[in-house]
Amino acid sequence: MPTSEFYHDLAPCRDFSAALAGDCFVAVPDDWIVVATDVVNSTRAIEDGHYKDVTVAGAVSTISVANITGSLDFPFFFGGDGMVFLLPSRYRRQVTAVLSDVRRVVRATSGLELRAGILPVKTLRTMGADIAIGKVRITARYTQAVASGSALALVDEILKGRVEADMEFPPEASEEDDLRADFRGFSCRWQDIPSRFGETMSLIVEQTGTTDDGRSGLQAAQAAVDEIVRDRTRAHPLSVEAQVTRSSTAVAGPEAHVRARGRRGLRVVLQRLRIGLEVAAVRFALATGLPLRGEGKRLRDVREDNIRNADVYKIDGTLKMTLAISPGDRRHLVERLESLHREGAIRFGWHTSDRAIMTCLIHTNHEDEVHFVDSADGGYAAAAKMLKASRDTTAG
């Protein structure tokens, strides 16, 4: 049977709790491919203050792939300094060419090197790793993929050269190459958003067993979060109030340079002017309440849409979340997670800042919309570094 519509045809999970219980996953077809990107030396780039450029490098690859498929209706997972996608193999040639161009544009705009790799699902299974996919309908404009299995973690190890496998690595394109990445729908014009409780926490939890009372490690970690933050809605790292004056042309440099494809001069000036007009239109709609529309949405609803369609909770074989949290609650949560670690149920990594960063993808030819949210100054990339150190300590 044709498998190209596999993900589109999946019935959504009831909610994230059902996904954590493993109730709604289906094995990914062997003839699909896994595509991964990763910023080389992202830790150094973040330490040097380029955390937004690191995030942008992942986002632009996502919108480029979405502009090949015609929508964001495919599984994708944001990891702070990179992305993972799953796609039917018929897209392999186009994705290879587009990622080559994305690599060139990322280097030209920020000086960062973006790794990219492509591997068949079947190859991962022959290596002893598996992957199953589900999805959760968040809003009418955003459906989020969830994943189980060890395959995505293995892909990351292969991409970074820690495990050998027959992965295809798209070369970096030259300006003369024919196929160019399409960045329409990419937006990065929001200032860092302060936490309403003092801290924004990025957390990654990896399951290693069950608790003494028989719960899975991820379910126990989620229960600890729910008990301590009490209201996951209030723990959302974005709020309407914090976004009131946060859209700005002053921070739109990454977007302008990406849209100018890494070129300088007049192209960047023109892109900044375009962004300035769009920001002004949003502010006018917010101030007047007029039902102005852009890219399929009402501009006066942009702050609420950012919250509703934000990618702040993820299940990708691990549990990832970004939370607004008080310093006291964060210390309490870390203590609870350390207790679960001592039980042998989980490993985890975390990072905190006093603010969040947001990168937006709004598909121009479809209703799809997603806002990648992370804590500033490191986020998921720093949390992943801590998690790896925990793995290495355990292995040692």
Q: What is the pLDDT of residue 339?
A: 96
Q: What is the pLDDT of residue 249?
A: 58
Condensed to tens digits (0 to 9), the pLDDT of residues 363-374 reads: 777 888 999 999
Q: What is the pLDDT of residue 395?
A: 63
Q: What is the mean pLDDT of residues 349-371?
A: 88
Q: What is the pLDDT of residue 364?
A: 74
Condensed to tens digits (0 to 9), the pLDDT of residues 49-107 reads: 888 888 888 889 999 999 999 999 999 999 888 999 999 999 999 999 999 999 999 99
Q: What phi-psi label fits residue 8: left (phi over 0), alpha (psi between -120 and 50 degrees) or beta? A: alpha
Q: What is the pLDDT of residue 57?
A: 87
In percent, the amount of the chain with pLDDT more than 70 equals 96
Condensed to tens digits (0 to 9), the pLDDT of residues 306-350 reads: 899 999 999 999 999 999 999 999 999 999 999 999 999 999 999
Q: What is the pLDDT of residue 349?
A: 97
Condensed to tens digits (0 to 9), the pLDDT of residues 217-240 reads: 999 999 999 999 988 888 999 988
Calculate the average pLDDT of the chain: 90
Q: What is the mean pLDDT of residues 18-33?
A: 93
Q: What is the pLDDT of residue 268?
A: 84
Residue listed under structure tokens 């790799």: 117
Residue 290 has pLDDT above 80, yes or no: yes
